[in-house]
Amino acid sequence: MREERYEAVMGLEVHVQLSTKSKIFCGCSTKFGAEANTKTCPVCLGLPGALPVLNREVLHRAIKVGLALDCRTAKMMKFDRKNYFYPDLPKDFQISQYDLPLAANGRLGILTDGKERTVRIKRVHLEEDAGKLIHMEDEDASLVDFNRTGMPLLEIVSEPDISSPEEAYDYLTQLKTILKYLEVSDCNMEEGSLRCDANISIRPKGQVELGVKTELKNMNTFKGVKNALQYEIKRQGEVLDEGGTIKQETRLWDEAKGRTSPMRTKEEAFDYRYFPEPDLVPFIIDKELVESIRKGLPELPRRRLERFIEDYKLPPAAASLLVNEKEVADYFEDAAGIYKKDAKVVANWITGDIQGELNKRSLSIKELGIKPNDLADMIKMIDEGSITGKIAKGLLADMVETKMNPRKIVESKGLLQIKDKGELDKILYEVIKANPKPVIDYKNGKVNVLTFLVGQVMKATKGKANPKMVNDLLRERMDKL
Amino acid sequence: MKKNIDVDYIANLARIKLEKKESSDFSSQLGDIISFVEKLNKVDTKDTPPTTHPLPLMNVFREDKVKESLPAEKALSNAPDKKYSFFKVPKVIEEA
């Protein structure tokens, strides 16, 4: 088997757009979706004489990310020019960081197939984004929108520590979770605020020397990254099996065709001739700043997971589901703080029915509009016996629709559990009368028809009766027959 | 020692078209300049910190405030060609 002969070595480069209000070196708005070329100025258009000035918030957010990834923050950093010609680059160079990046030597823990691994982070550096090209179909021309030019980007480069496409997927998911916790980026892949390139090579098992790598681009989803890597491992294996050699090149992933192909580009384009950006001064990052940012770091997903298991006694799987999204984890803590009796019950409702509503409606938990207090109230009503669990499930959907407190909905819709024995008796009587055969069966010892009769009663009460109570009462009545 | 510079390679990177004569002239001149600058390599810089910027200035920031951008007409006013509110350029595609 080829898979057993070779092992893959992968590294990922992630570009994340920091969600500041203004661009990295000028005051243009970063708002997505504006009309083409309405968010530009002499600085981001690279007009002569314009001078870039670093956005302080960009630096602070970048330091935050570096710290969360256990990186060493540089004492001094500077910017460099990366020179190349491409129409999406108005200055013909991109301001980036070369030999003195903001942060380096970090790590990120991932969990794949139940196995913990650490992926080292090589470096984290700041740069500006390029513009957007639209290729015309009916004409031999491309259209350029420079609104994206100068958007603050953070490039996060991993060491080649990733050994399977699944690990790559988990690395990306974990990284995104952390970035969301830090509230530095909206990580929206569709809007391009999170992008990923991959480097991949394979080598015969046991060989120390790395194979020749290819760089993969144009993956638009985490799943796409996984698929592209899977394809490339297979492709490189086949090339080597046939006695060929891997060519170092950039390849583009074609999601529709499910394959990578070499990008047409000139070799010289990779000679970027980096040199220090003379228009920006160097930056000394003092210890006090770093420490104050470190103090302000939120609790990160790893730590929170441990705490959920410990403090709330949640099973690891449920805790992990809750922690994956900061908003959901916050919601859980709010609700569990109100309904203190059993956090597991709260977790079950959130990971079960509420998550179901979120998926069905593609909403975030905030958009769903069920307040933590309302969820807690609903659970209390089940405890009090005022509603049945079955009613509660339907009630949840009503709460989403009406944004009302569950007690109000139950009152107005008359969903309160029937606790009055006399009222229930009447219904039992009707059911027994309407089902003579099952009743005879029961009397003849077929005890399991009881379930059927309970079901009939539940149906007649539209779920408002307590099944256990119905069960007991039915048995009592029929034994007397 | 005189350096030989591949001027055609550099010219191509800078998208400059050179005549044959210019190419050989510049090659020799650039070589002279580099040999001249290389004299610096002889200076002992063991105790000299690297210079990252000629100005004795550090940490210049702006606050994260949105300023008004140029109207699209203005941004596009120097464009040789445009369409709608886009710059229009000869087709470039990085494709497979």
pLDDT in tens, A240-287: 999 999 999 999 999 999 999 998 665 445 688 999 999 999 999 999
Distance between B76 CA and the closest CA of chain A, angstroms = 8
Does the structure show a pLDDT above 60 at A140? yes
Averaged pLDDT for residues A49-71: 97
Give the confidence band of B1 by pLDDT, cuts at 50, 70, 90.
low
A132 vs A52, A253, B73, CA distance in Å? 20, 19, 18
Please tell me which residue, A103 or A433, carries the higher pLDDT value: A103
pLDDT of residue A189: 87
What's the mean pLDDT in A96-103?
Answer: 96
Per-residue pLDDT at A481: 72
The parent domain of residue B33 ranges over 7-42
pLDDT value, residue A11: 97
Buried b (16+ CB within 10 A) or exposed e, B49-79: eeebeeeeeeeeebebeeeebbebeebbeee
**Are A365 and A358 a contacting pair, CB within 8 Å?**
yes
- Looking at the partner chain, which of A36, A140, A281 has a beta carbon nearest the beta carbon of B53? A281
Taking contacts as CB-CB distances below 8 angstroms, the residues of chain A near B76 are: 37
Q: What is the pLDDT of residue A1?
A: 45
Q: What's the average model confidence in pLDDT over A354-360? A: 91
Rounded distance between C-alpha atoms, residue A219 and residue A461, angstroms: 54
Tell me the range of A13-17, A136-140, B40-44 where mean pLDDT is highest. A13-17
Share of chain A above pLDDT 90, in %: 67
Model ipTM value: 0.88
Q: Residues 6 or more apart from B63 whose CB is under 8 A from it?
A: A55, A56, A57
* pLDDT reading at A143 higher than 90: yes
Q: How far apart are CA A366 and CA A52, in angstroms?
A: 38
Closest CA to A402 of A378, A379, A363, A369: A369
At the topology level, CATH places domain A421-480 in: Arc Repressor Mutant, subunit A (1.10.10)
- The band of A430, judged by pLDDT with boundaries at 50, 70 and 90, is confident
Domain borders along chain A are 2-291, 299-413, 421-480
Distance from the A236 Cα atom to the nearest Cα atom in chain B, whole angstroms: 17
User: What single letter denotes the amino acid at residue A285?
Assistant: I
DSSP-H helix ranges across A121-221: 165-182
H-type alpha helices, A163-241: 165-182, 222-241
A251 contacts on B by Cβ (under 8 Å): 96
Q: Which residues in chain A touch residue B96, judged by CB atoms under 8 angstroms apart?
A: 251-252, 254, 260-264
Determine the pLDDT at residue A479.
Answer: 80
Put simply, the chain A residues between 74 and 113 with a CB less than 8 A from any chain B CB are 76, 78, 83, 85-87, 100
To the nearest whole Å, the CA of B44 is away from the closest chain A CA by 23
Q: Please say whether the beta carbons of A285 and A76 come within 8 A.
A: yes
- What's the pLDDT score for residue B3? 64
pLDDT in tens, A153-163: 999 999 999 99
Strand A54-55 relative to strand B61-62, pairing: parallel
More confident residue, A251 or B15: A251
Q: What average pLDDT does range A188-198 have in this prediction?
A: 91
pTM: 0.83
Statement: residue A339 has pLDDT above 80: yes
Interface of A with B in 287-316 (CB under 8 A): none
Cβ contact, residue pair B87, A268, below 8 Å? no
The domain tally of chain B equals: 1
Per-residue pLDDT tens over the stretch A201-234:
999 998 999 999 999 999 999 999 999 999 999 9
State the Cα–Cα distance between residues A376 and B19, nearest whole angstrom. 81
Nearest by CB to B96, from A26, A37, A262: name it.
A262
Q: How far is CA A325 from the centre of its chain?
A: 7
Give which of A395, A390, A393, A418 is closest to A405, Cα–Cα. Answer: A395
DSSP assignment letter at A123: E
- Of the candidates B58, B85, B89, which has its C-beta nearest A282's C-beta? B58
Give the domain CATH number at B13. 1.10.20
Q: What pLDDT sits at residue B18?
A: 92
Is pLDDT larger for residue A117 or for residue A470?
A: A117
3-state secondary structure of A212: coil
Mean pLDDT of A327-347: 94
Tens of pLDDT, residues A380-399: 988 887 777 778 888 888 88
In sequence order, the 6+-apart residues with CB closer than 8 A to the CB of A144 are A87, A88, A131, A132, A133, A134, B86, B87, B88, B89
